[in-house]
Amino acid sequence: MPAFRPRYLLALTTVLALTTGGTATAVSAQDSPSAALREVMFVGNNWDGTADVIESSGDFARIGRVNVIPDKAERLAEIDADPIKWIYFTAIRNSVGEGHDQFVDDMYSTPDGRSMVVSRPSFADVVSIDLTTGRINWRFPVAGYRADHMAVSPDGTRVAVSASTAGKVHVLDIGTGKELGSFATGDKPHENIFTKDGKYIWNMAIGDVTTSLDDPAWDWTKGDRHITVVDAATFKQVKVIDMRSRLDAIGLKDFSDAVRPAVFSPDESRLYFQVSFFNGFLEYDVAADRITRVKTLPKNPATSEDRTTWVNDSRHHGISMNPSGTKLCVAGTMDDYATVVDRATLQQGPLVTAAKPYWATVSGDGKDCVISESGADKVTAIDFTTGEKTASVPVGDHPQRVRLAHVPADWTGPSAG
């Protein structure tokens, strides 16, 4: 990278507050029968530019590692040649990247297990990487200057990726990288969720999360934050949900309406979601269109109450649910713990110490909550039944997203790249 360029200073200052988020994609199945597959988990090491492949349950042992930036030199040369791209690239490093480049946000496997599809925030793109050779199959540059969270359709053929600085979501064919459609969102689209029937996509726009205007009195400066629901076939808007009025209706006027990670109940009648600055989560009744319960989780006394010190306006970032829908698992990011919560009573279990846990998902066998400890470079499993830690495995630098995936049964890592 070149040294900092004074002539870019003003423009860089302007865009420092304009970057946020991250998301991933996947690839389509082939016409011929696929070889035997092995269920695994992908762990995106954001600052490394790698993805670790680990067992999906049990001891979660590491199987292999994939370099998701084999084209790094080419991309950096491209960025260096374009002043605006360079400004955004540097802005991402200095704001949401906490001084680091963001090379992997989200990732999925293709249905045939042959490739990994990855969103790369700093490179503003989505790529498909061949898991045998380590080479790039296709690359899709997103609109704007940053790629964010992704979601894959239930049939595995489509991937939705947030273009966080462009206020839109692209939907791609997972096998070819061809854009099938797109739709507009609020400011800084973040989380994407396909409904289990594949008919709808929910996108959560979180607004500006890199400014220092974090006091509730300045909440209005954070931009247009709402949930956009679209038809996944036509990409036409079906519904817009602004949580501001729903929060106000239950007296939570000082709460942010920026919806962060979220998870549906198995029947999709309830949505459980986190919001900026809050140590806990909320329950939303989809049919009634109202917030029905609020769960406040413990604060860590060692956590500063200065909101400007919390990473990207997060306090808690990461929530998952066991397959039966009886337990939730919450990553208490800035409070350095994770905990399992009974869905019926909202009673939390033990607070499991964790270093800046950034994500929560479910193991392949459904028994454990799996969190990424971005502050300790490891992945940790917590038993949904007991609430106790069962395993930890070291991974790369600053793990964030963790996703269930599949690879060929005999896979141990790419042969090149």
Domains of the chain (ranges; CATH) run 6-408 (2.130.10.10)
Q: What is the DSSP letter of 335?
A: G
Torsion of CA 275, 152, 396, 38, to 10 degrees: 140
Q: What is the DSSP letter of 27?
A: -
CB 319 within 8 A of CB 305: no
Instruction: Tell me which H or E stretch contains 358.
Output: strand 357-362
User: C-alpha distances in angstroms, 3 versus 7, 8, 20, 39, 269?
Assistant: 12, 11, 23, 44, 52
Residue 268: its pLDDT value, please? 98
Nearest to 4 by CA among 145, 13, 71: 13
Nearest to 413 by CA among 63, 138, 167: 63
Pairing of strands 319-321, 290-296: unpaired
CB 31 within 8 A of CB 404: no
Q: Beta-carbon neighbour count of residue 170 at 10 Å?
A: 25
The rounded distance, in Å, linking the Cα atoms of 149 and 42 is: 14
> What tens-digit pLDDT sequence spans the chain (417 residues)?
333 333 333 333 333 333 333 333 333 333 344 569 999 999 999 999 999 999 999 999 999 999 999 999 999 999 999 999 999 999 999 988 889 999 999 999 999 999 999 999 999 999 999 999 999 999 999 999 999 999 999 999 999 999 999 999 999 999 999 999 999 999 999 999 999 999 999 999 999 999 999 999 999 999 999 999 999 999 999 999 999 999 999 999 999 999 999 999 999 999 999 999 999 999 999 999 999 999 999 999 999 999 999 999 999 999 999 999 999 999 999 999 999 999 999 999 999 999 999 999 999 999 999 999 999 999 999 999 999 999 999 999 999 999 999 999 999 999 754
Tell me which amino acid residue 261 is: P
Phi-psi region of 271 (alpha: psi -120 to 50; beta: other; left: phi over 0): beta
Residue 96: its pLDDT value, please? 87
pTM given for the model: 0.90
Tell me which amino acid residue 393 is: V
Burial class (CB in 10 A: 0-12, 13-18, 19+), 174: buried
End-to-end Cα separation, the chain, in angstroms = 21
Residue 353: its pLDDT value, please? 98
